[in-house]
Structure 1
Amino acid sequence: MELAVRAPTSATVDDVEDVLEKKKQWILETLYGLVEQDDPPLDKEYLSSEKLLYNGRRYRLRVEESSVIEPELIFDGNRFDLLVPENDAINTRRKRQAVVDWYVTEATQKLPKRADDYIQKLGIDDIEIEVTTLQRRWGEYRPGHVSLHSRLILAPRKIQDYVVAHELAHFRHEEHSDAFWNTVGTLVPDYRERREWLRVKGSTLTV
């Protein structure tokens, strides 16, 4: 990945470096954040034969009537089953909510566990990790606290690990300094490739 810089012919190298330094945080957040490159997928109707994304893989969906009161999503490791009330003209919104609820529950249970090894390697403690919905970020650091976007559960586990490692590295270095990226690199040696995947493919991680 390359960053192209355009400047007037009258600008000196020092002028360009000064501007880059002032824009450093924005540049890093743009590379790391929710920048849409690939087109997002078409809206789903949650019908049989559609596929749902989970941990970077797409699994076939089967919709079937059941005695449930509200739609309920079940995953057996190979296929998603969406149970819908019998004799009920269920709408897409209610089906989608059942799918979203399932993903949020999975993310809340699974994503914080991705941090265990990194916490041990960094030798840090007193950390609170929550799963929530973030605006234009996949993860967020505050002193003693890390927030992870629930939609990360859609991404491959190696991408989940990159975001977790990135945020935990802030416990050692708050700024995106060389020392910070060195710390990320000790946790995830190929972090550049994972960061680039997230930059390009992040917009496809939708329910």
Structure 2
Amino acid sequence: YMIRRSDRAKRATIKVDQNRNVRVISPRHVPATEISALMDQKANWIYSHTIASKRSLPPERRYQDGEVFPFMGGTITIRIVREDETFWRFCGDELIISVPGDFIEYHTKSAVRQAVSLFFKSQLYVFSIPYFEHYANQLQMPVPAIKIRDQKTKWGSCTPKNIILNLRLCMAPKNIIEYVIAHEIAHKVNPDHSPAFWQTVEQLMPDYRERREYLKEHGHEWVL
């Protein structure tokens, strides 16, 4: 485990991240012997949280033929074919991606990843438009411009000119995508996370708490 000394810490605390790294955040005055005793005392807790973190690790994407991705509450299967040009088409529950036959493995993986990203981006954009129109109408405001981007940490963000959605939302169930849309468009009324903001979200979506909790619990699973 690693120890990080902090002037702000009032007592020693233990944290386990998703990569099963154990960290102790401690005031500067706490001796190493006391931290070691704390680790012994919390050994069972650390073990259980390490196992839980292992189970919650996101899947590793290989971008190979037959790989399955979550998609709007269901799944899609990647099918790779060798042709002269790179393109993709969606057929049933399969995303068929064509790559040149002379591509080496690295270039094939890169082309497949790009195709998956473009597919998700287009599908999320088309799916989200009616919801933006619906919620904008409820709040009596113009429909905002919509941008879809691959963001590392945020599921959505709101700027004065547009609303940005994370393309990885395409891997979430549809009702979770709808929650993020309602959340972001509510920021057009209240730019912060004040009680007034959450009242606006609840006005648009009375069951938003359940959807927000689902997003917190499962969002780490939707990786590209």
Scaled by the length of structure 2, what TM-score is found? Answer: 0.67
State the distance in 2 between where 1:197 and 1:126 align: 27
**Which residue number in structure 2 is paired with residue 168 of structure 1?**
185
What value does the CA root-mean-square deviation take over the aligned residues?
A: 2.4
Where 1:137 maps in the other structure, the secondary structure is coil
**Which residue number in structure 2 is paired with residue 43 of structure 1?**
61
Q: How many residues align?
A: 171
State the distance in 1 between where 2:64 and 2:98 align: 11
Structure with greater strand percent? 2
Q: 2:56 is matched by which residue type in structure 1?
A: D
Q: 1:44 is matched by which residue type in structure 2?
A: R
**Which residue number in structure 1 is paired with residue 119 of structure 2?**
102
Query: Can you give the 5+ residue segments of structure 2 that lack an aligned partner in the other structure?
Result: 1-8, 12-54
Bigger shift: residues 168-177 or 192-201: 168-177
Report 1:1-207 matches (<5 A): 38-47=56-65, 49-66=66-83, 68-70=84-86, 72-86=87-101, 88-90=103-105, 91-125=108-142, 127-207=144-224
Q: 2:61 is matched by which residue type in structure 1?
A: D
Query: Can you give the 5+ residue segments of structure 1 that lack an aligned partner in the other structure?
Result: 1-5, 9-36
Q: 1:69 is matched by which residue type in structure 2?
A: E
Deviation at 1:102, TM superposition (A): 2.0
CA contact (8 A) 2:136 2:143 kept: no
Q: Relative contact order (C-alpha < 8 Å, sep 6+): which is higher?
A: 1
CA contact (8 A) 1:162 1:194 kept: yes
Identity between Structure 1 and Structure 2 (%):
29
Deviation at 1:186, TM superposition (A): 1.8
CA contact (8 A) 1:41 1:206 kept: yes
Where 1:100 maps in the other structure, the secondary structure is helix
State the distance in 1 between where 2:173 and 2:203 align: 20
Residues 36-59 of structure 1: per-residue CA shift (max 9 Å, x gap): x93211222321x32122213112
| Structure 1 residues 7 and 187, CA gap change in structure 2 (3 angstroms) | farther
Structure label with greater radius of gyration: 2
Scaled by the length of structure 1, what TM-score is found? Answer: 0.72
